[in-house]
Chain A
């Protein structure tokens, strides 16, 4: 079938639709915000170029990083394992605790509107405060070391997974839930029998993303003393051992990539 090519007398519509005055004002305000933010905070080009030149100078940090120093690979390996363990433990606890928070935060499953609002506020608080801040708080509570890191990751994951678990439960087909409610099933029975199986793919995907996020986050938690490889990285930088710092960064990168590849493989298999 050929496209009709007969010329028409009808004019095409205007390229841009007419906008009202408030819309123009809104656009100008957004533009003003972006430009003023760039001017106030973005680095000056000359300063940036001088910094990059220093980085590549013979005595600069980048040059001193090569070749990476793997002589302490055994203790660094143990610290990496501790980092992974922190991530797994914190993530596991966070995901388990995220489930009741998520149930309480949903419109359909929460037993009371007040409980729903409280659960949503707690999830929002846990999600909003950065994990480094949680780590500092838990260092004050349980002292320096991996326990503080695990607690920080746990709270961060309750916020992260709580929100996504709740969204997944809101989006499930309500038919099976109604069917069980209609026969007099308990709320818990309805949730476990009808809601959880329907949410399984979404829960799995969220949990694997949470694990990836935990591994990345746990490496940084050591910077404030909450255990893991981050402590060694900070010490290496503080002592100007940039070659060892690069070795640590490369091993962290390998760990993160391995976890991401593994979780990607599991995601493909399960979902």
Chain B
């Protein structure tokens, strides 16, 4: 395993004491329509947390607010020891480099090779032509990208065009690109949504292994009950813009959770 893929003492859940994410009074409204209504929660490091809720409950908005892809209307966010809402544009770029995102759609650049797409992840910490395409990348970056591809089991497809891969393989490439960032925190927006059940399970297992083996923290939006129960340590349920459920997965009741997945707002 490449050096950066090994758990870092500063990031590993077992050694970091304080919370990795603190959300306090987070409000987001779109032209007066309140989507997030004073959210308040904290996340411990090195944990996998599932965020569940009906369509339109504000899950994706919350994820985007956490790294200010959408600007919060009010409230405070402290992630990885940074006051996210107070960051200048330059500091925000540096902060985002520490947060890996796995999107519902893999969002890879279709005409490029698998390796070039993975190397794009290095743009989190390096700019200029050497981070644009695999042909221009330094040997160390290429070798790190290969290690990331190896981590997701696709090292043998490095030179293939990314749009020639299956949906599950493309999602794995997106995870390899995310690893290339060397993130300390992973946000995942329904990473299994567009995948068949078995492939979805493999991708979720891969994400959980990054938490268990690399000590990363994971906050994922989940829309599959079985994945929520199998791949998370803690469950946060969002309803009407508020935290309506917060419990360890071990104590979760499948029947109670089902209301969130059946798109019925809990009473």
Contact = CB atoms under 8 A, between A and B. Distances in A.
Nearest to B121: A183
A178 B108 CA distance: 10
Contact of B107 (A175, A184, A189, A192): A175
Contacts of A198: 109-111
Interface in B123-150: 123-124, 127-129, 131-133
Nearest to A185: B123
A184 B123 CA distance: 7
A175 B96 contact: no
Interface in A151-182: 173, 175-176, 178-182
Nearest to B110: A198
Interface string B98-113: 0111010101111110
Given A183-B181, A197-B109, A189 B127 contact: yes
Nearest to B180: A183
A182 B123 CA distance: 11
B69 A178 contact: yes
A197 B132 CA distance: 11
A190 B68 CA distance: 18
B123 A189 contact: yes
A176 B120 CA distance: 10
B132 A192 contact: yes
A186 B103 contact: no
Contacts of B178: 183
A182 B120 contact: no
A169 B67 CA distance: 26
Contacts of B110: 173, 176, 197-198
Contacts of B100: 183
A182 B69 contact: yes
A209 to B, nearest CB: 20
Describe A's contact surface by its main secondary structure: helix
Nearest to A190: B123
B165 interface: no
Contacts of B97: 183-184
B94 interface: yes
Contacts of B109: 176, 193-194, 197-198
A197 B116 CA distance: 11
Which of B110, B120, B129, B181 has the most chain A CB within a 10 Å cutoff? B120
B25 to A, nearest CB: 24
A200 interface: yes
Interface string B178-209: 10010000000000000000000000000000
A175 B105 contact: yes
A180 B123 contact: yes
B93 interface: yes
Nearest to B129: A192
A175 B133 CA distance: 18
A179 B107 contact: yes
Given A193-B120, A193-B133, A179 B101 contact: yes
Contacts of B92: 184
Contacts of A182: 67, 69, 96, 99, 101
B124 A175 contact: no
B127 A183 contact: no
Contacts of A181: 69
Interface in B195-236: none
29 contacts: A173-B110, A175-B103, A175-B107, A176-B108, A176-B110, A179-B101, A179-B103, A179-B107, A179-B174, A179-B177, A181-B69, A182-B101, A183-B121, A183-B123, A183-B181, A184-B93, A184-B123, A185-B124, A186-B93, A186-B127, A189-B123, A192-B129, A193-B116, A193-B120, A193-B123, A194-B109, A197-B110, A198-B109, A200-B111
Interface of B: 67, 69, 92-97, 99-101, 103, 105, 107-112, 116, 120-121, 123-124, 127-129, 131-133, 174, 177-178, 181
